[in-house]
Amino acid sequence: MKFKEELKLLIKSRYSLIWIETQDEDYVTSNITEVSSGYKLYFWSVTKGLWVGGSSDSFYDSNEPIKALKLIADIIKDSSEALFVLYDIDKYFDKPIIVRYIKDILSNIKNNSVTLIGISPNPLNIKDFDNYVSKITGAFPSEEEIVNIVNSEISNFLKSSDLRIYLDRRQSKRFIEALKGLTEKQIRNIVLRCLVDDFKIDVSDISKVEKVKKEIFDRSGFLEYYEGEVAEDIAGFNNLKKWIYDRKKIIDSDSKINIPSPKGVLLTGIPGCGKSLSAKVIGKILEYPIYRFDPSSVYSKYIGESEENVRKIFETIDRLSPVCLWIDEIEKIFFTDDSSSDAGVSKRIFSMFLVWFGERKNKTFVVATSNNIEKLPPEFIRKGRFDEIFFSDLPDFNERMEIFKIHFRKRGINYSGFDLKKLSELTEGFSGSEIEQAVLSSVYSASLNVGFESVVSEIKKTTPLSVIKNSEFEAMRKWALSRNIPKV
């Protein structure tokens, strides 16, 4: 629901208190003014005091919150339909008399068309008003409003400069979607930044927007932005690629079939066999920005702060959406047992993740990887939690040849004279990362003059993990086979 429509509905529903958590006071105030027809509109801030909407004059001596609340209490005795907008009133909730006065006002107006509207960048964290309040988080421009804002900035720019636009219809939609979750001011700044940078708008500007959004939303550093990898840079994984491409068609289609957006995949299997790389490939195929989330970084020694960090992160992800959210080695983060000594914090965070993962309505696509899926709780891997679970095994003969080609190309190594079949034979049992390391080591050992023999030499120095942990890897394969988990 658009912010303006939601706000109007809550006012008409006679909520005594509407709490709007937002960074964009101007946008929210403008929308309140637009929906206030038929209501007497009042505003209060500690700097200006209490004033009537449309007037520049404030009530005498109304700057202090307690004096303003006393005035409001008097006004509502003679008002049947009124809206009172209070800016940053939560800064004074540490004073019991302020909280008590507001509760008295809310109790007196619960049966009429008078509403208090709190506007603050902070959530409403006290329980005193729970019986009266409805909360709105964000209050951002809708897609239609974003289009109007972008067109406005382009029109203004064209008055003084030339501009070229190289976006087709699908790319234009991605550009607008990338701007979702930003305030009107932020949208205008970012669009103008793109215009001034090179006097054009093209597909590269979508990445610019995504990076700026990350900078804005993740000041705490819980999310790390990654560039995507093309599908050709990962050998094999044909089942997973087809699965993703099939869902990409649905996401891009204009079909009226009511089908939810894909939720995500869980990738398990042998370490070093492309699970992490596939997260970057998936993001590239879906044309979603990729953010790596490490939930272990949210834990704090202070009571309640870990859970608050997680709540903020989920809100950030919702604002960044659509995104590809990559959670690496998830079993190390969400594995908990009854012997856990963290006073239940891990279990609460795990529960918060399950609720968010199951209930979210945005286009966030989660790619979780695990090297030991048996450590994960059964409710995490049950059917329907993820759209699909895939198993990544050691690369076969042809995949190993392709992996060598990929890493030779990336390093600018001319491999036309190399016996790729021989290299593949020598690396039976190697993971993709072990093959990559052999190529990298040969670059250093040969002082950049890489030849076939230098690569072979590095291969022979390597004992693959599949030899050292053969029994563990076999157990993984049997586990996946017994549960009909498809290979990537």
Asked whether residue 485 carries a pLDDT value surpassing 70, the answer given is yes
Residue 80: predicted pLDDT: 80
Q: CB under 8 Å to 42, separation ≥6 — which residues?
A: 50, 51, 52, 53, 72, 75, 82, 83, 84, 85
Q: What is the pLDDT of residues 252-293, one digit of tens each?
A: 877 777 787 889 999 999 999 999 999 999 999 998 989 898
Q: Which comes out higher in pLDDT, residue 121 or 448?
A: 121
SS3 content of the chain, % helix, strand, coil (to 5): 50, 15, 35
* Rounded Cα gap, residues 99 and 129, in angstroms: 9
What is the set of domains in the chain, with CATH numbers?
3-137 (3.40.50.300), 143-213 (1.10.8), 231-392 (3.40.50.300), 397-468 (1.10.8.60)
Q: What is the pLDDT of residues 293-316, one digit of tens each?
A: 877 777 766 667 778 778 878 887
The pTM of the full predicted model, rounded to 2 decimals, is: 0.73
Nearest residue to 363 (alpha-carbon basis) of 263, 246, 245: 263
Q: Long-range contacts of range 60-65, CB-CB < 8 Å, 24 or more positions apart?
A: 65/89, 65/92, 65/98
Q: Which comes out higher in pLDDT, residue 149 or 314?
A: 149
The amino acid at residue 369 is T
Residue 222: predicted pLDDT: 78
pLDDT band at 340 (very low <50, low <70, confident <90, very high): low
Q: Which residue, chain included where needed, has tokens 């005035």?
A: 71
- Is the backbone peptide bond immediately before 322 cis, with ω within 30 degrees of 0? yes
Q: Which residue, chain included where needed, has tokens 């529903």?
A: 13
Q: What is the pLDDT of residues 82-141, one digit of tens each?
A: 999 999 999 999 999 999 999 999 999 877 899 999 999 988 988 899 999 999 887 788
Residue 303: predicted pLDDT: 66
Q: Which comes out higher in pLDDT, residue 240 or 23?
A: 240
Q: What is the pLDDT of residues 392-416, one digit of tens each?
A: 999 999 999 999 999 999 999 999 9
Rounded to the nearest 5°, which phi and psi values hold at 33? -60, -40
Residue 342: predicted pLDDT: 63
| 3-class state of residue 85 by DSSP | strand
